């Protein structure tokens, strides 16, 4: 230490400092800045931008399209088919994984780094930290979805073309009508994606383990897919968080139906509210000891 | 200084299942005071400080910090309070400066404008742009002090700040804490090292298994401390031991291949002179245990009957 340390301490502790208290937006900026500094978050966003381009190139070059998947047989016929094929595929495990990469880690990483006590001994409350992390997770998930959608639709339109699209009931959708429907189809993934974000947040808070927070939602999503494919479980199927990912089908039929869309919104909202409520209660009551 | 106590704990208790980690602790720290909380590992010091910071909730009693309580004031209870618990932790993938910028953002006000000055205070200016993951333990400790100073605290709480540091790091950290204390800040210093607290603190609470075993001034403690113990090695320890017989105020015991000599400096001097006059060579003489250290061990490790009876054990013994 230098001889002038005492003088500097007195200088640091000068009176009359401004006393504005930080709010949740401040905590959100804090979390977003941390997120921006994480290689994992940056690479996930970059991957969401570039991977669809590669996928479109590969699928477009294939002589045998994936006919078993919805819109798989039409990928060479219209540039709007490829985004719907990718949407159906991503719903199986890609969306849960991509959102969980951040949401599943965002609380548990504070335990991993032992930084809870560093953060919670400042001027922000647990409630503010909770909402800042949750909103940051949702923003990240929406960014990933936006990048995937934009990249897939743009790449497919440029590489395959903007031909008319065949609807799910065989009707022909002209290009100008197909694009809004494709965009709307991707938008239907927002609600269940937020639901999976909430699941990841819950696992992150409860387990305090980033691995559980990241892998857990993927496993839960796959189990739900499996349960949804079993016969005789229709009542349960409606309550699964994976079912709303299929609600866009109603947008591409001759007679459009919105029942699955509304059900999907309600189910996603239910999962989101329950998971976040439990996560919030656990975090509020937790004794910060080791971390 | 204000009449409001920096820390006012009354009968504070914390239990984890069947284990009572803190058992009815009372403590009063006046503003401007440099106060030590001493105890061996597991005494309940850190648990008490966690309650002070609101990280855990007491099961009983009341705890006021600068006149505020967590129950009534929420995070405002930490206004004017800063410090760290155990070793300070930061995001390893960010630089020291960015870590401070993030924390300053969470503090609000003009905390961000103080970053350069606090980095300078803890001598981290040249390393502030390095990632914390590459910092030594001592650098992280100093960054912890810098993070605390960002808040312009009236009460600085440091939990074993020299713990885990190398000798140079301990020297630097003690110098820094001493200078912070000299600047008029109220400092609450937790430690298991009597020597560390003795050098800096005015008053001290000594804890053992969740309870207070001593509460008072360092001066009182020093008065009650037993005589210092020395380790003596001679050319013939058996003869030297025989020479100690009957000497008033002196206790000499054979211990681990040497002699443990306990007594006043005058008694020890006279004894050593006698040993030399008897033709024995002195091969080694070292201070085995400082007086306050001896008393600390007596208070925290031995049965209550062995502790000097005049020591004030009441929690309010040092109340200003």
- Tell me, yes or no, whether B238 and B215 share the same domain: no
pLDDT at B231 over 70: yes
Domain carrying residue B270 = 229-289
Of the candidates B83, B98, B117, the beta carbon closest to that of A12 is on B117
Of the candidates A13, A37, A123, the beta carbon closest to that of B107 is on A123
CB atoms within 10 A of CB A270: 13
Domain total in chain A? 1
Mean residue pLDDT of chain B comes to 86
CB A5 within 8 A of CB B121: yes
For the stretch B86-117, what's the b/e string if a residue is b when 16 or more beta carbons lie within 10 angstroms of its beta carbon? Answer: bbbbbbebbbbbbbbbbbbbbbbbebbebbeb
pLDDT computed for residue A241 by the predictor: 95
For residue B270, the distance in angstroms to the closest alpha carbon of chain A comes to 42
Report in angstroms the alpha-carbon separations of B172 from A1, A169, A235, A258, B38. 6, 77, 68, 69, 20
pLDDT computed for residue A16 by the predictor: 41
Residue B218 forms part of a structural domain: yes
Residue B206 forms part of a structural domain: yes
CA distance B236 to B241: 9
**CATH code for the domain in which residue B28 is found:** 3.40.50.300
* Residue predicted with more confidence, B303 or B246: B246
Which residues from chain A sit within 8 angstroms of residue B185, using beta carbons?
9, 13
- Tell me, yes or no, whether B12 and B62 share the same domain: yes
Is B89–A30 a contact, with Cβ atoms under 8 angstroms apart? no
pLDDT computed for residue A2 by the predictor: 44
Weakest mean pLDDT among A115-129, B88-102, B163-177:
B163-177
Residue A2 forms part of a structural domain: no
* Residue predicted with more confidence, B225 or A229: A229
Weakest mean pLDDT among A61-70, A132-141, A163-172, A201-210:
A61-70
CA distance B297 to B276: 32
pLDDT computed for residue B320 by the predictor: 35
CA distance B47 to B211: 12
Domain carrying residue A27 = 23-285
Average pLDDT over every residue of A76-82: 93
CA distance B53 to A121: 6
CB A72 within 8 A of CB A78: no
Weakest mean pLDDT among A16-25, A203-212, B24-33:
A16-25
Tokens read off for B8: 């006012």
| DSSP state for residue B131 in the 8-state scheme | B
Residue B110 forms part of a structural domain: no
Q: Quickly state the pLDDT bin for B317 (edges 50, 70, 90).
A: very low
Report in angstroms the alpha-carbon separations of B99 from B66, B217, B229. 27, 38, 47
Domain total in chain B? 2
Residue B205 forms part of a structural domain: yes
Average pLDDT over every residue of B279-295: 81
CB A163 within 8 A of CB A78: yes
Name residues whose C-beta falls within 8 Å of residue A126's C-beta, 6 or more positions apart in sequence: A120, A283, A284
Residue B159 forms part of a structural domain: yes
Average pLDDT over every residue of B19-41: 91
Q: Which of A10, A123, A128 to mutate to test the interface with B (most CBs of B within 10 A)?
A: A123
- Tell me, yes or no, whether B17 and B71 share the same domain: yes
Residue A11 forms part of a structural domain: no
- Tell me, yes or no, whether B75 and B180 share the same domain: yes
List pLDDT tens digits, range B116-141.
Answer: 999 998 888 889 999 999 999 889 99
**CATH code for the domain in which residue B265 is found:** 3.30.70
CB A115 within 8 A of CB B91: yes
Is B108–A123 a contact, with Cβ atoms under 8 angstroms apart? yes
pLDDT at B285 over 60: yes
- Tell me, yes or no, whether B217 and B251 share the same domain: no
- Tell me, yes or no, whether B219 and B233 share the same domain: no
Report in angstroms the alpha-carbon separations of A275 from A104, A126, A136, A219, A282. 13, 17, 16, 16, 11
pLDDT at B299 over 80: no
Weakest mean pLDDT among A241-255, B145-159, B208-222:
B208-222
pLDDT at B14 over 90: yes
ipTM of the complex: 0.83
Mean residue pLDDT of chain A comes to 90
Q: Quickly state the pLDDT bin for A118 (edges 50, 70, 90).
A: very high
Of the candidates B50, B109, B121, the beta carbon closest to that of A8 is on B121
pLDDT at B309 over 70: no
From A120, A47, A53, select the one nearest A291 (Cα to Cα): A120
pLDDT computed for residue B302 by the predictor: 61
pLDDT computed for residue B181 by the predictor: 82
Nearest 5 degrees, angle CA B198-CA B204-CA B209?
110
From B116, B122, B125, select the one nearest B146 (Cα to Cα): B122
pLDDT at B186 over 60: yes
Average pLDDT over every residue of A139-168: 95
Which of B206, B223, B240 is the last residue in one of the domains? B223
Which residues from chain A sit within 8 angstroms of residue B95, using beta carbons?
none
Residue B25 forms part of a structural domain: yes
Tokens read off for A219: 């496993």
Residue B313 forms part of a structural domain: no
Q: What stretches of B106-238 adopt beta strand conformation (E)?
A: 155-159, 186-191, 203-208, 211-217, 229-234
- Tell me, yes or no, whether B179 and B199 share the same domain: yes
Nearest CA in chain A to B90: A115
Of the candidates B110, B120, B147, the beta carbon closest to that of A18 is on B110
CA distance A268 to A262: 10
Average pLDDT over every residue of A104-124: 93
Q: Which of A63-67, B55-59, B106-110 has the highest mean pLDDT?
A: B55-59
Tokens read off for B242: 């025989």
pLDDT computed for residue B253 by the predictor: 86
* Residue predicted with more confidence, A10 or B87: B87
**Percent of chain A topping pLDDT 70:** 92
pLDDT computed for residue B248 by the predictor: 86
pLDDT at B311 over 60: no
CA distance B22 to B11: 9
Tokens read off for B301: 């490790």
CB atoms within 10 A of CB A71: 25
Is A1–B108 a contact, with Cβ atoms under 8 angstroms apart? no
pTM here?
0.83
Q: Quickly state the pLDDT bin for A49 (edges 50, 70, 90).
A: very high
Which residues from chain B sit within 8 angstroms of residue A136, using beta carbons?
none
pLDDT computed for residue A14 by the predictor: 45
Residue A8 forms part of a structural domain: no
Residue B175 forms part of a structural domain: yes
- Tell me, yes or no, whether B235 and B212 share the same domain: no
- Tell me, yes or no, whether B237 and B285 share the same domain: yes
Which residues from chain A sit within 8 angstroms of residue B107, using beta carbons?
22, 122-123
CA distance B20 to B233: 45
CB pairs under 8 A between A and B: 132
Residue A4 forms part of a structural domain: no
Q: Quickly state the pLDDT bin for B216 (edges 50, 70, 90).
A: confident
Is B55–A117 a contact, with Cβ atoms under 8 angstroms apart? yes
Residue A291 forms part of a structural domain: no
């Amino acid at each position: 230490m230098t001889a002038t340390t005492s003088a500097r301490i007195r200088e640091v502790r000068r009176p009359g400092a401004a006393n504005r208290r930080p709010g949740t937006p401040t905590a959100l900026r804090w979390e977003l800045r941390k997120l921006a500094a994480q290689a994992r978050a940056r690479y996930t966003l970059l991957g969401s931008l570039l991977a669809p381009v590669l996928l479109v190139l590969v699928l477009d070059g294939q002589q045998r399209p994936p006919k078993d998947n919805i819109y798989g047989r039409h990928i060479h016929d219209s540039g709007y088919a490829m985004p719907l094929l990718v949407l159906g595929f991503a719903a199986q495990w890609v969306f849960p994984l991509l959102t969980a990469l951040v949401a599943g880690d965002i609380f548990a990483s504070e335990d991993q780094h032992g930084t809870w006590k560093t953060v919670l001994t400042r001027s922000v409350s647990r409630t503010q930290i909770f909402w800042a992390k949750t909103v940051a997770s949702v923003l990240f998930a929406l960014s990933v979805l936006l990048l995937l959608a934009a990249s897939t639709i743009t790449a497919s339109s440029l590489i395959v073309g903007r031909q008319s699209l065949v609807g799910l009931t065989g009707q022909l959708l002209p290009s100008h009508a197909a694009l809004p429907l494709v965009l709307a189809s991707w938008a239907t993934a927002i609600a269940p994606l937020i639901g999976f974000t909430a699941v990841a947040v819950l696992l992150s808070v409860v387990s305090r383990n980033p691995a559980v927070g990241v892998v857990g939602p993927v496993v839960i999503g796959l189990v739900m897919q499996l349960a949804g494919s079993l016969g005789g479980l229709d009542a349960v199927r409606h309550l699964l968080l994976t079912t709303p990912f299929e609600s866009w089908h109603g947008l591409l039929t001759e007679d459009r139906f919105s029942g699955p869309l509304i059900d999907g919104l309600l189910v996603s909202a239910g999962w989101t509210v329950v998971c976040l409520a439990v996560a919030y209660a656990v975090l509020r009551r937790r004794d910060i000891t080791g971390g | 200084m204000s009449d409001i106590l920096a820390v006012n704990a009354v009968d504070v208790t914390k239990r984890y299942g069947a284990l009572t980690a803190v058992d009815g602790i009372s403590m009063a720290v006046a503003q401007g005071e440099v106060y030590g909380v001493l105890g061996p590992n597991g005494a309940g010091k850190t648990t008490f400080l966690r309650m002070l910071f609101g990280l855990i909730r007491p099961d009983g009693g009341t705890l006021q910090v600068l006149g505020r309580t967590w129950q009534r004031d929420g995070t405002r209870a930490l206004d004017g309070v800063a410090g760290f618990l155990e070793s300070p932790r930061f995001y390893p993938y960010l630089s020291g400066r960015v870590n401070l910028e993030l924390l300053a953002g969470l503090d609000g006000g003009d905390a961000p404008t103080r970053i350069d000055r606090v980095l300078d205070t803890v001598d981290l200016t040249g390393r502030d742009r390095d990632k914390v993951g590459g910092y030594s333990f001592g650098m992280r400790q100093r960054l912890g002090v810098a993070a605390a100073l960002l808040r312009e605290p009236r009460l600085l709480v440091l939990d074993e700040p020299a713990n885990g540091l190398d000798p140079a790091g301990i020297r630097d950290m003690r110098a820094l804490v001493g200078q912070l204390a000299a600047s008029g800040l109220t400092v609450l210093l937790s430690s298991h090292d009597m020597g560390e607290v003795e050098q800096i603190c005015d008053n001290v609470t000594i804890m053992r298994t969740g309870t207070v075993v001593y509460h008072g001034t360092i001066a009182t403690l020093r008065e009650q401390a037993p005589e210092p113990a020395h380790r003596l090695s001679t050319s013939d320890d058996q003869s030297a031991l025989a020479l100690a017989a009957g000497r008033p105020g002196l206790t000499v015991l054979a211990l681990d291949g040497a002699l443990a000599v306990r007594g006043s400096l005058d008694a020890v001097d006279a004894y050593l002179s006698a040993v030399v006059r008897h033709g024995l060579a002195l091969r080694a003489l070292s201070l085995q245990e400082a007086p306050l250290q001896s008393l600390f061990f007596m208070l925290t490790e031995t049965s209550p009957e062995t502790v000097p009876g005049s020591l004030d054990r009441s929690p309010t013994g040092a109340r200003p």
